[in-house]
Structure 1
Amino acid sequence: GATRGGARDLTRHNTVAVATVCEAMRRSGCTARLVQVGCSSEYGPSQPGSSTAEDAIPRPGGPYGVSKLAATELVLGSGLDAVVLRVFSPVGPGTPAGSPLGRLAEAMRRAMQSGDGELKLSGLGVQRDFVDVRDVARAVHAASLSAAQGVVNIGTGRAVRLRDAAAVLAKVAGYAGALHELDTPPARLPIGAPRTSTESVIEHLSATPSPYPDGCGAWQQADVRTARDRLGWRPRINLEESLADIWMEAACRI
């Protein structure tokens, strides 16, 4: 699948590809079980303080969420032995550098390399349900062996503010500088103007066109009771361990 790009590319990679798999399974008479990896972006924004359950009405806030929701509907209507896992915010090894935590780790690495004693960041008020990718893999395995149908949320059941994750990442990284939060993205510097390392970091973190590029608003938290009851699954890896792995990968970049 794809997480970035225009509506056409997202539809091709996230919707048409799933339709092709479903059709191939139907035509071949394949009796394998299909586990579709969906995304919490299918739900769209949630009420702060609430936990989103599987019966919530999906209201995706962008083309990515729409393309994933369309794939979910295709799978649920396929007549196949299938289940959809709606994964909330996956983190840990392999976290993309363009994701919020990936950008944060990269900004911290640059600040430490340059000896910058302060890091100015924006968008840290967002709260997400971060779940380690290794726990997600365990959920996929459990779903493949279960008889569960329909949609199952995969998350931790706990929303974490990005600024709190930043503080944990600083501790893991050994970054002793100050973290300053910016309420609004700073204006871009004129072309050719000299830049301090901090200014470059600010621009790097503020490069996304929307404060919520996943279309999920300021808050998301999973109701994970279905995963517990129908898959026998619970998350095992805490956020500090996930962040340590993200930091290790960022620190190894040259």
Structure 2
Amino acid sequence: MRVLLLGSGGYLGRYVAEHLLADPSVQLTALGRGDDADVRFDLSTGSPGALTRFLDAVHPGVVINCAGATRGGARELTRHNTVAVATVCEAMRRSGCAARLVQIGCASEYGPSQPGSSTAEDAVPRPGGPYGVSKLAATELVLGSGLDAIVLRVFSPVGPGTPAGSPLGRLADAMRRAMQSGDGELKLSGLGVQRDFVDVRDVARAVHAASLSAAQGVVNIGSGRAVRLRDAAAVLARVAGFGGSLNEVDVPAARQPLAQAVGTTATATTSAIAATAHAEQSGGAAPAVSPYPDGCGAWQQADVRTARDRLGWRPRIALEESLADIWMEAACRI
């Protein structure tokens, strides 16, 4: 099976590439903006015609799109998450390869949900920010393209390689610095947010399964269980062997953003409010702004029955193992 992977240098793309390369039946070609790609091509600025010529030359059976941006203003997000997908869809329609498209979407497309509920694929999307809007527009382009296509709406990916700016990555780094300096206290804020965490390696398995299946439309990829960041922090402290105290400092609800970060330092607390964030008190560091511009409020949990029934996929890796891997990478910086 010939597979063209777009965005192989990103957080998800790296694990998708690793998983696919372990399958001897897969012939993988990576296309992206980085030097590690087999072919350098920027989807946000490249023309559909140029991509069509490349598709006709490679003739893949499956195109997997992991490319995109999670940060930036509305214009940048639209260019990387929506215009880029329009380029992919148009090129695939023009090409004679008749490939299947696996598009990586995100749970931010749904927007806020009712606490205690599980969000299924038939939920009406109401994204709460420009990131979710840009990804939802991409999903609509894919679904309306007429291609053999599936969109995997990935909830909150975690595990090895978790970006340092994410809530759990930031927490692990703060814990590392506290242990390194001998500080016995971490002051944290925003730990009441609950998210559905799924290991990035399980996401890679889901992408592989989607490549081989005949399923179309939208499929949620998550653990099916919402976890409070406060509980994840306690587990991370345990796997790290952090013997100090985790003291939560509440932020007034009226001032919390829709997607609050775990704003932590070893000696100070930040509010992680994009519009009114204050500088951290330790060394004038930058404020902790939410790395998840998802607009998903305080609760998010996936209904993953469709992934089970149509892809034969279930998550395998427990959150504690994911957190242990995050900590191992943070500890290597001590």
Name the CA distance, whole Å, in 2 between partners of 1:214 and 1:163: 19
Q: What is the CA-CA distance between 1:158 and the residue it aligns to?
A: 0.3
Please say if 1:226 is aligned against 2:226: no
Identity %, equivalent residues = 90
Amino acid at match of 1:207: A
Q: What is the CA-CA distance between 1:29 and the residue it aligns to?
A: 2.3
In the superposition, the TM-score normalised over structure 2's length comes to 0.70
Please say if 1:137 is aligned against 2:204: yes
Question: Contact conserved, 2:81 with 2:134, CA < 8 A, in 1?
Answer: yes
Please say if 1:216 is aligned against 2:296: yes
What does 1:147-186 align with in structure 2 at a 5 Å threshold?
Answer: 147-184=214-251
Which residue does the alignment assign to 1:191?
none
210-219 or 90-99, which deviates more? 210-219
Runs (4+) of structure 1 exceeding 6 A deviation are: none
In the superposition, the TM-score normalised over structure 1's length comes to 0.92
SS of the counterpart of 1:199?
coil
Q: Which runs of 5+ in 1 are unaligned?
A: 186-195
Amino acid at match of 1:221: Q
Q: What is the CA-CA distance between 1:30 and the residue it aligns to?
A: 2.1
Please say if 1:8 is aligned against 2:75: yes
Which residue does the alignment assign to 1:20?
87
Q: What is the CA-CA distance between 1:200 and the residue it aligns to?
A: 7.1
Name the CA distance, whole Å, in 2 between partners of 1:38 and 1:143: 13
**267, 270, 285: which is aligned to 1:198?**
267
Please say if 1:207 is aligned against 2:281: no
Q: Which runs of 5+ in 2 are unaligned?
A: 1-67, 253-264, 272-279
Name the CA distance, whole Å, in 1 between partners of 2:157 and 2:314: 15
Name the CA distance, whole Å, in 1 between partners of 2:224 and 2:306: 11
Question: What do the CA deviations read for 1:224-249 (whole angstroms, capped 9, x no partner)?
Answer: 00000000000000001100111111
Which residue does the alignment assign to 1:112?
179
Name the CA distance, whole Å, in 2 between partners of 1:39 and 1:50: 18
Q: How many residue pairs were aligned?
A: 243
Which residue does the alignment assign to 2:122?
55
Question: What do the CA deviations read for 1:180-231 (whole angstroms, capped 9, x no partner)?
Answer: 111118xxxxxxxxxx9412788369621x6973211000000000000000
Closer, same or farther: CA 212–91 of 1 in aligned 2, 3 Å = closer
SS of the counterpart of 1:97?
coil
Question: What do the CA deviations read for 1:127-165 (whole angstroms, capped 9, x no partner)?
Answer: 000000000000000001001111000001100000000
Which residue does the alignment assign to 1:189?
none
- Higher RCO (Cα < 8 Å, 6 or more apart): 1
Closer, same or farther: CA 69–97 of 1 in aligned 2, 3 Å = same
Name the CA distance, whole Å, in 2 between partners of 1:99 and 1:231: 29
SS of the counterpart of 1:156?
coil
SS of the counterpart of 1:109?
helix
Q: What is the CA-CA distance between 1:28 and the residue it aligns to?
A: 1.0
243-252 or 78-87, which deviates more? 243-252
Question: What do the CA deviations read for 1:104-127 (whole angstroms, capped 9, x no partner)?
Answer: 111111111111111000000000
The structure where helix makes up a greater share of residues is 1
Name the CA distance, whole Å, in 1 between partners of 2:90 and 2:187: 49
Which residue does the alignment assign to 2:321?
241
Amino acid at match of 1:232: G
Closer, same or farther: CA 236–71 of 1 in aligned 2, 3 Å = same
Which residue does the alignment assign to 2:46?
none
